[in-house]
Amino acid sequence: MIKSIRAITISSYVAMLFLGVASTVVGAAARNIGLTPSQIGLILAAQNLGFAVSVLISGAMADTQPKPRILTIGSLVLAVSFLTFYLSPVFWVNIVIMFLIGIGVGTYEGTTDAMLFDLHTSRAALYINVNHFFVTLGAALITLYLIFLEMNWRVSVVQSGIAVLLLAAFFAIAELRPMRGLTTTLGERLRILARSGMVARLFLATALVVGVELGSIGILTTYLVDLRGMTQLTSKLGLLTMLAGMGTGRLVVGFLVKPRRVPQVILTLFALATLLFTVLYFVDAGSLVFVAAFLAGLALSALLPLMLTLAGTMFSEMPGTALGSIKVAIPVGGIMAPLAMALVATRVSFQASLAVLPLSLLVAALVLLPLRRM
């Protein structure tokens, strides 16, 4: 059995790398597969549904069951889903497979952060930030793999499936110290969380932050072309600049933040992100827009990991259940912000729809104002 803390930590990072791959591969390969916009919407909805179900259940199980075993099952589900994705041309079959991909990556999201809390309690903020950095890295790598290397999308998905099978084999022989002796049932733990006003606040703030992140990734290139007169190439460089800011922030903030300062850092980053996203989308800064994009990504990047760190610290006796409950907000946020932007763009204008992003951050900051007393 493998008991090395370093090896198990690295395996968590690899799992989150494939979470990023799975979350991005449909969008990156949609044109090659031949999916229509309506089919993309349905298949992503299936993935988000699987994710929401899995992240809550796996998070709760992580408080009472061996985490490597949960990750072994999740890895097997994800590997089989990768290997069979669009092997059949029947659309409903692939809807089911996409639901299972959501189950697999939801297991990673629901379990790895809780596992890092067990392994690195005193420096959880650092390790959770790095964990989520690998999600960004996975998304960027699969995009580059498919676009710039011009690899066949089917080959890349099969290769990912084989790699995840190897990851499943690792988790099958990994072992952590014995679980904490929880005596409460899942229902009792959920009732405790439901009575906490801070959990509800963190849930809403998480949905808003994820919405801003996914909304910006989806709309930035269109904004730079349509409203700032950039070419397709330079607009893509703008998106890569923002992603670079996100990746840098998750590493730098994770290394610098002290555990006792997490609440104050969260509020500071919300203030900075609100300002910077307002500048990015409503100030014509010329070539300095790249600086604004990088800084906006930097300020936004660490918010989700730090809020998860705070939740895990507040409920240290059941971090898996607490994190899993809050992470259900991730697919909710992925739907909310793009839908709100689409409605405003239809009824008012594209420029007006961009206000949804900084306003979402402002609302999240106001929701979390009680953190200033912590």
The answer to whether residues 195 and 163 belong to one domain is no
pLDDT tens digits for 242-252?
988 998 999 89
Distance CA 65, CA 178 (A): 9
End-to-end CA distance of the chain: 41
Give the rounded percent of residues in the chain with a pLDDT score beyond 90: 52
Q: What is the CATH number of the domain that holds 241?
A: 1.20.1250.20
Give the rounded percent of residues in the chain with a pLDDT score beyond 70: 94
Distance CA 23, CA 142 (A): 10
Mean pLDDT computed over 69-82 = 96
Residue scoring higher pLDDT (154 or 118): 118
| SS3 category, 2 | strand
Tokens of 313: 């610290």
> Up-side HSE of residue 183: CA atoms within 13 Å toward CB?
0
Using the predicted structure, report yes or no on whether residue 153 has a pLDDT greater than 80.
Answer: no
What is the number of domains present in the chain?
2
Q: What is the predicted pLDDT for the residue at 28? A: 61
The CA R_g of the chain, rounded to the nearest whole Å, is 20
The answer to whether residues 36 and 174 belong to one domain is yes
Place of tokens 């953190």: 371
Pick the closest to residue 45 from 116, 94, 113, 84 (CA basis).
Answer: 94
Going by the DSSP 8-state scheme, the letter that residue 88 receives in this structure is S
Using the predicted structure, report yes or no on whether residue 44 has a pLDDT greater than 60.
Answer: yes
The answer to whether residues 123 and 214 belong to one domain is no
Instruction: Read off the pTM.
Output: 0.87
| Packing angle, helices 289-301 and 303-314, rounded to 10 | 10
Residue scoring higher pLDDT (288 or 24): 288
The continuous run of DSSP H or E covering 183 comes out as: none
Per-range mean pLDDT, top range of 17-26, 82-91, 255-264, 274-283: 274-283
Q: What is the predicted pLDDT for the residue at 41? A: 74
The residue segments making up the domain with residue 231 are: 189-373
Mean pLDDT computed over 8-16 = 95
The answer to whether residues 81 and 198 belong to one domain is no
| Packing angle, helices 67-84 and 153-173, rounded to 10 | 160
Residue scoring higher pLDDT (360 or 196): 360
Final residue before a domain boundary, out of 159, 181, 203: 181
Distance CA 270, CA 274 (A): 6
Confidence label for 347 from pLDDT (cuts 50, 70 and 90): very high
Final residue before a domain boundary, out of 181, 206, 237: 181
Distance of CA 243 to the CA centre of its chain: 13
The answer to whether residues 200 and 311 belong to one domain is yes
Q: What is the predicted pLDDT for the residue at 236? A: 80
The answer to whether residues 167 and 201 belong to one domain is no
The answer to whether residues 163 and 278 belong to one domain is no
Distance CA 171, CA 1 (A): 10
Going by the DSSP 8-state scheme, the letter that residue 354 receives in this structure is T
Helices (H), the chain: 5-33, 37-61, 67-84, 91-119, 124-147, 153-173, 186-194, 197-226, 232-256, 262-282, 289-301, 303-314, 319-327, 329-347, 350-353, 356-367
Using the predicted structure, report yes or no on whether residue 304 has a pLDDT greater than 60.
Answer: yes
Using the predicted structure, report yes or no on whether residue 150 has a pLDDT greater than 60.
Answer: no
Q: What is the predicted pLDDT for the residue at 149? A: 60
| SS3 category, 174 | strand
Distance CA 4, CA 296 (A): 37
The answer to whether residues 110 and 68 belong to one domain is yes
Using the predicted structure, report yes or no on whether residue 146 has a pLDDT greater than 70.
Answer: no
Pick the closest to residue 180 from 265, 136, 237, 118 (CA basis).
Answer: 118
Residue environment code for 48-62, b if the CB has 16+ CB neighbours within 10 A, otherwise e: bbbbbbbbbbbbbbb
The answer to whether residues 231 and 332 belong to one domain is yes
Final residue before a domain boundary, out of 181, 199, 218: 181
The answer to whether residues 216 and 161 belong to one domain is no
Report whether 212 contacts 360 (CB < 8 A). yes
Residue scoring higher pLDDT (156 or 70): 70
The answer to whether residues 118 and 248 belong to one domain is no
Using the predicted structure, report yes or no on whether residue 136 has a pLDDT greater than 90.
Answer: no
Using the predicted structure, report yes or no on whether residue 106 has a pLDDT greater than 80.
Answer: yes
The answer to whether residues 149 and 230 belong to one domain is no
**What is the average pLDDT score of the chain?**
88
pLDDT tens digits for 210-261?
999 988 887 888 899 889 988 877 888 888 889 889 989 998 988 888 888 9
